[in-house]
């Protein structure tokens, strides 16, 4: 049974960066639910994939050096541990991972045509289509089986998880490995990162909920790794249950135990998270107002989908935040979804005469602090809302 625990209010689509601000853009009510039987946490409203992921999708995986090195490290690990004959990536974005593999041993699936085009230009075979049974059988016809499937920050974006895993089972060889990587629900709860919820994040997985889901498809997690990326992610290594060539590692039990100890299987945990999120909103608004009342200047850094949740939930506009800076080409000279705050193409001088920076990309804090050492050395400060709203400079 799905039980409601948090209402994050009326929200725009988190990656809908308009050229001209309009208060009449599409919105939905962002409400969070916990399923007491499956232990899955999800949002209620499902926006069609074609509305969210199309030829105008702005997010690029390769925009941060943190993610680039994470993909590089992972590719060496995959080659060393699994040495796949053929790797398939579901949600290959701009090819940030694929490019570490030989062109005849890696294929991509990326429904956002603008991104698939970038990967194709690098000469990687890329299907610009949604991951479903039709596409899986089409790929199977051409390439037969694949022995490694990788998917980061994608499967949680697809409403019909039954079809997702059926389609994976269809094409994954009996001894093949599926690796998926998504924000960890435990880290999200610990960090009070309510901004991990928005229209694209239909689900935020815990290992417990994923295990329950995989059981239906005769799949099981045989290893799991905690990663620092995206504010704390989990990388799950999954195999077919009948595949006895791999043992289930202790890391899996350890993760389940940790999640149970932190109450991820209990509704009360989510009610507490909701209470903390409401408090976080109040404090965040207070901090920003206090700064503004002292006539200081605030800008934003990293126009993330997460920031869109925060700014709309807390109702922050350009009276508080002058503008955002971001390196993504398709976000510059556009507006924060739902808010009349302009995004400018990042350049260092945009940080001149700024007193405070709201860290929209808090998950890249280390990378950004390194890059903006001069701003900090000159007395500049950052504002974050994780794990609780505060002003920081280290
Ligand atoms: P970042 C997106 O979420 C959407 P977002 C999606 N739903 C998802 O799951 C995750 O990605 C994976 C900018 N930046 O990665 C680049 C700078 O400007 O936290 C990005 O716009 N300068 C698919 O949007 C943003 O910040 C920098 O130095 O929450 C980061 O977005 C750095 C490091 C980043 O994902």
Q: 49 — phi, psi (to 5°)?
A: -55, -40
pLDDT in tens, 37-53: 999 999 999 999 999 99
pLDDT at 391: 98
Q: Which residues of the chain have pLDDT under 50?
A: none
Quick check: CB of 303 below 6 Å from ligand 1?
A: yes
Q: 98 — phi, psi (to 5°)?
A: -50, -40
Cβ-proximal residues to 187 (8 Å cutoff; 6+ apart), any chain:
193, 226, 231, 232, 233
Please choose, from the candidates 156, 153, 91, the residue with its C-alpha nearest in 3D space to the C-alpha of residue 127: 91
Q: How far is the CA of 13 from the centre of ligand 1 (A)?
A: 15
Q: Are 343 and 370 in contact (CB under 8 A)?
A: no
Separation CA 303–CA 121 (nearest Å) = 27
Separation CA 273–CA 42 (nearest Å) = 14
What tokens were used for 27? Answer: 């919105």
pLDDT at 110: 98
Separation CA 182–CA 161 (nearest Å) = 14
Output the pTM of the full model. Answer: 0.97
pLDDT at 74: 97
What tokens were used for 198? Answer: 């928005």
Q: Which atom of ligand 1 is nearest to the CA of 346?
A: 18
Which residue carries 């689900």 as its tokens? Answer: 203
pLDDT in tens, 315-351: 999 999 999 999 999 999 999 999 999 999 999 999 9
Quick check: CB of 211 below 6 Å from ligand 1?
A: no
pLDDT in tens, 201-219: 999 999 999 999 999 999 9
pLDDT at 23: 87
Pocket test for ligand 1, best of 71, 180, 197, 327 (most atoms within 8 A of CB): 327
Separation CA 274–CA 304 (nearest Å) = 22
Q: How far is CA 117 from CA 92, 101, 332, in A?
A: 11, 18, 20
Quick check: CB of 200 below 6 Å from ligand 1?
A: yes
């Amino acid at each position: 049974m799905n039980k409601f625990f948090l209402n994050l209010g009326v929200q725009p689509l988190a990656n809908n960066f308009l050229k001209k601000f309009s208060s009449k853009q599409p919105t939905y009510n962002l409400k969070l639910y916990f399923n007491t039987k499956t232990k899955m946490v999800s949002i209620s409203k499902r926006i069609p994939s074609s509305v969210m992921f199309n030829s105008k999708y702005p997010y690029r995986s390769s925009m941060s050096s943190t993610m680039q090195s994470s993909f590089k490290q992972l590719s060496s690990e995959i080659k060393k541990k699994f040495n796949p004959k053929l790797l398939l990536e579901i949600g290959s974005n701009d090819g940030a991972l694929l490019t570490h593999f030989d062109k005849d041993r890696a294929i991509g699936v990326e429904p956002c045509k603008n991104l698939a085009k970038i990967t194709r230009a690098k000469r990687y075979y890329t299907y610009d289509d949604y991951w479903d049974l039709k596409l899986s059988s089409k790929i199977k016809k051409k390439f037969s089986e694949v022995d490694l499937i990788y998917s980061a920050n994608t499967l949680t974006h697809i409403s019909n998880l039954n079809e997702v895993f059926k389609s994976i089972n269809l094409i994954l060889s009996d001894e093949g490995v599926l690796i998926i990587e998504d924000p960890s629900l435990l880290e999200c709860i610990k960090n009070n990162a309510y901004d991990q919820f928005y229209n694209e994040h239909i689900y935020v997985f815990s290992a417990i909920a994923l295990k329950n889901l995989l059981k239906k498809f005769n799949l099981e997690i045989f290893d799991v790794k905690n990663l620092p990326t995206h504010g704390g992610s989990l990388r799950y290594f999954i195999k077919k249950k009948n595949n006895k060539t791999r043992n289930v590692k202790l890391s899996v039990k350890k993760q389940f135990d940790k999640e149970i100890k932190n109450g991820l299987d209990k509704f009360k945990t989510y009610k507490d998270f909701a209470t903390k999120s409401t408090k976080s909103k109040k404090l965040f608004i207070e901090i920003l107002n206090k700064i503004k009342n002292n006539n200081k200047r605030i800008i934003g850094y990293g126009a993330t989908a997460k920031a869109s949740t925060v700014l709309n939930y807390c109702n922050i506009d350009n009276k508080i935040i002058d503008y955002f800076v971001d390196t993504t080409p398709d976000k510059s000279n556009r507006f924060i979804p739902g808010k009349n705050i302009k995004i400018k193409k990042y350049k260092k001088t945009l940080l001149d005469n700024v007193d405070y920076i709201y860290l929209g990309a808090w998950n890249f804090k280390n990378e950004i602090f390194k890059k903006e050492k001069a701003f900090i050395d000159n007395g500049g400060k950052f504002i974050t809302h994780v794990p609780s709203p505060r002003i920081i400079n280290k």
